[in-house]
Amino acid sequence: MTNIDDETFAQLRDAIERFVTERLKPNEMHVEETDEIPEDLVGEMKDLGLFGLTISPDHGGIGLNCRQESEIAMILGQTAPAFRSLFGTNIGIGARGLILEGTEEQKERYLPKLASGEMIASFALTEPDSGSDPASLKTKAIRDGDDYLISGTKRYITNATRAGLFTVMARTDFEQTGAGAISAFLVPADAPGITLGAKDKKMGQRGTTTCDVIFDNVRVPASAIIGHEPGQGFKLAMRVLDRGRIHIGALATGMCKRLIQEMLAFATNRRQFGQAIAEFQLIQALIADSYTEFSAAQALVRSTAVEYDAAGAARTNASALKYFATEAVGRIADRAVQVHGGAGYMTEYAVERFYRDVRLFRIYEGTSQIQQLLIARQLIKNGL
C-alpha cells in the first residue's frame, strides 16, 4: 500500500481541521439533544474521504499510515466523539482485520464500499459474559458442510444499527479453550438470523449507537473466515486492537487539547474578586498540570505511531499510550469542570458533556486495568 506524501497529507489535515472547526463543533449541541448526527454532515464526511482514511488507494481509500492517522485523530478528538465514531469502525477495528489478513476477493468485495461510506463496518467481539477476556467468548461457529452456522450474542457493538458488515469473533474449535479456538468471520448484516437489540442508553457520547447483535444459526460460507484460515481470530483481534489503541490514545489527546482550550477561555473571561480567575495561582496550577499531561500524551502518540509504522506493531507502547492518554483526559476533564465551578455542572457548557463523554475512553478497546497487565507482562517477558 502506498501512503500519501506529506504535502498532500498537510492539505488533507488542514481540510479536516476546517471541517471540525466550521461544521462539527457548531453541531455538537444538536447531536447531544437529538442523539443523531445530521445526514448532511454524514454526506460531507463521505465527500472528505473520512470513511476511507486508512483503506488503501487501490480500494478507493486514502491510505494513511499510523503516524498520519494519529495526527488526524488528534484533530477529530477536539470535537464531540460521536462524529468520529460514525466512521471510526470503517477506518479502525471494523475493517482493520480485513485490511490486515483478508483475501484479495474479500478486499475487493468490501473495501471500496467501506472507503466510500456506502457500507459501515462493525466489530463484534464483546459478549454479555466476555469483555476483558475475549478468549472466553461463547459465540459458536459450527461447521456444516461448506458453511458455518454462527450463534451467540454480542454486546455494546458500535454502529451495529448502521452496519452493512460485521467482523464476528466466534469459537470454531470446541476441544481447546485458548486463543487458537477463535476464528474471525465477515458476516453481511442482512444475513438471515441476525437481529438487533434495543439501542443502548449511555452515560455520554450521545450520537453514537451501540446495541446487542444476536446471531441465530446465521449461515456463512467457509470463505467468510478472514484469510480463509480458522483459529486465527483471536490473534487477529489483538493486532487490530494494537493500532486501535494508538488511535484511541490520539483521540483522547485531542480531547485534552479541547478541554484546555475551554479552561483557558473561561478562566480569562470569568472574573472574581475584581480580576480574571486565570490570575489565581490555584487555577493556574490546574491549567499547568493539564497542559503537562497533554504534552506528554502528544509526544507518546507521535513516538508510538512512528514505532508502529516501522515495525508493524507497538504492543507495549500502544498499551502505555492508551492507558496514559485516556486516564489523563479523565483528569483534565475533571479539572476543566472545577475551573468552571458551578457553570461546569451545567449542560450549556461543553465541559459538562465532555466530562461524561471521555469516561468511556478508559473502558473500550481494553480497560486501563487490562493495559496495566499487558504492559507489565510485556516487560517481564521482553525486558525494557
224 φ/ψ angles, rounded to the nearest 5 degrees: -75, -15
C-alpha–C-alpha distance, residues 8 and 27, integer Å: 28
Please confirm, yes or no, whether 365 is among the known catalytic residues.
yes
Tally of CB atoms within 10 A around 33: 11
* Residues 6 or more apart whose Cβ sits within 8 Å of residue 161: 196, 199, 209, 211
Q: 150 forms bridges with which residues in the sheet?
A: 141, 218
3-state secondary structure of 64: coil
Partners of 211 in the β-ladder: 157
Bridge-based pairing of strands 210-221 and 194-196 is: antiparallel
**Between β-strands 182-188 and 165-171, what pairing exists: parallel, antiparallel or unpaired?**
antiparallel
d(CA 55, CA 298): 24
> Are the beta carbons of 127 and 138 closer than 8 angstroms?
yes
The one catalytic residue in 71, 307, 352, 365 is 365
Length of the chain counted residue by residue: 384
Three-state DSSP state, 146: coil
- Kindly report the backbone phi and psi dihedral angles of residue 117, in degrees, each rounded to the nearest multiple of 5, phi listed first: 90, 0
Pairing of strands 165-171, 121-124: parallel
Rg of the chain taking only CA atoms, in angstroms: 21
Residue in this structure with the C-alpha cell 496514559, named with its chain if needed: 324
Q: Give CB contacts under 8 A, 24+ apart, made by 16-24.
A: 16/48, 16/50, 16/72, 16/75, 16/76, 17/75, 19/44, 19/48, 20/75, 20/76, 20/78, 20/79, 24/79, 24/80, 24/83
Annotated catalytic residues are 365
